[in-house]
A = this chain, B = another copy of it.
Amino acid sequence: MKPCAIVRASGYTGRELLSCLQRHPRLRATVVMTARAGAQPEPPVFPGDPTIDALDLARLQAVDGVFLCTPHGAASEIARRALAAGKKVVDLSADFRLRDPALYQRTYGSPHPAPELLARAVYGLTEHARTTVQDAELVANPGCYPTSILLPLLPLLQQGLLDPAAPIVADSKSGVSGAGKAPSDRVHFGAVHENFLAYGVGNHRHTPEIHQQAGTSRIVFTPHLLPAFRGMLSTIYVTPAAGLAASGNAAAALRSCLAEAYAHEPFVRVYAQGQPELRCVQQTNQCHIAVTQSGPLVVLTSAIDNLQKGAAGQALQNMNLMLGLPEGDGLS
């Protein structure tokens, strides 16, 4: 059993990682800490979970890999120390997702805390970065919305199957766990239950990340908050390239492209028919994708569990690769 650490294990993604690692045959969370030194140890979130100790960077010496589940801004310093000690680091925050520190500052409102590390970070959308992740020392784990949008889009963009001039609409809906565990008016039961709304319209922080990884800024992204706890569905509207549109069978072509791209991927499933539902991917590391013609556009629907494939699950895929373990270990 290789030892690893989880920093800020008390949040939703930290707890999800703990849960995955409890059934991992080769990796164990031996160091489970909060994000702040000198903090009171936190009691276990669930009966049977470990107590969460105060942050103590010296303890990272004893592990092979480090998962950072801190808010953005707080991860960089810990990452710096862990990398200096030769540890493998998967950062689930936004600190290393954007390559351009100026863009980071515009997006997150403060200077990048560790610009010198940016060049060493690999963007870990695993299915599209497997070989670089294997050799990486620092992986920026993708955001949940970008994961659900990039997985269906990237193969189509790479194969030139989309009209390069047309906007792409990505209309995403997420369960509340994506907003984190801190209490607020917005996540009060009374504000979520039997409610639904769009938020961050035109200015959500995941937009630059999506644009960077897709290599285009013509993606219009709108997130919404579902009255559900976990799971995310993105409905993506694309315009087929001119030739395809004329063929009258654009959706079939796009579906074939995706089916082929992910034919050997255990965590991505392209539907021949039907629509993905949250309940089919909840508590799994799966991404399920359907492709359907709708008038002049093709509709891609993509479902993931935001806490698994959108966070802890993909982080574990990446860590497994970095440590030379089977990629699917600990993932159902």
Binding site for B on A (CB under 8 A): 12, 22-23, 46-47, 167, 169, 171, 173, 175-177, 181, 183-185, 187-199, 201-202, 217-222, 224, 226-231, 233, 235, 237, 239, 269, 271, 275-280, 282-283, 288, 290, 292-297, 299, 301, 303, 332
Contacts of A167 in B (CB 8 A): 237, 239, 295-297
Contacts of A173 in B (CB 8 A): 173, 196, 224
- Contact at A12–B278, with CB atoms within 8 Å? no
Contacts of A194 in B (CB 8 A): 175, 193-194, 228-231, 278-279, 282
- Contact at B297–A196, with CB atoms within 8 Å? no
> Which of these, B221, B277, B299, contacts A197 with CB under 8 Å?
B277
Rank and list the top 9 A-B pairs by shortest CB-CB distance, nearest first: A202-B294, A183-B183, A197-B277, A189-B192, A171-B171, A201-B292, A176-B189, A195-B279, A220-B295
Which residue on B lies nearest to A221, using beta carbons?
A: B294
- Contact at B229–A197, with CB atoms within 8 Å? no
Contacts of A188 in B (CB 8 A): 181, 183, 187-189
A188 to chain B, nearest CB (A): 5
Contacts of A301 in B (CB 8 A): 198, 201
Which of A190, A202, A296, A303 gathers the greatest number of chain B CB atoms within 10 Å?
Answer: A190
Which residue on B lies nearest to A269, using beta carbons?
A: B47
CA distance A177 to B190 in the complex (A): 7
Contacts of A230 in B (CB 8 A): 194
Beyond the given A188-B188, A201-B292, A202-B293, please list 4 additional residue pairs across the A-B interface where CB-CB is below 8 A. A169-B171, A175-B194, A195-B228, A197-B276
A328 to chain B, nearest CB (A): 13
* With A190-B176, A201-B301, A227-B228 as contacts: A222 and B294 at CB distance below 8 Å: yes
- Contact at A193–B229, with CB atoms within 8 Å? yes
> Which of these, B190, B226, B277, B293, contacts A187 with CB under 8 Å?
B190
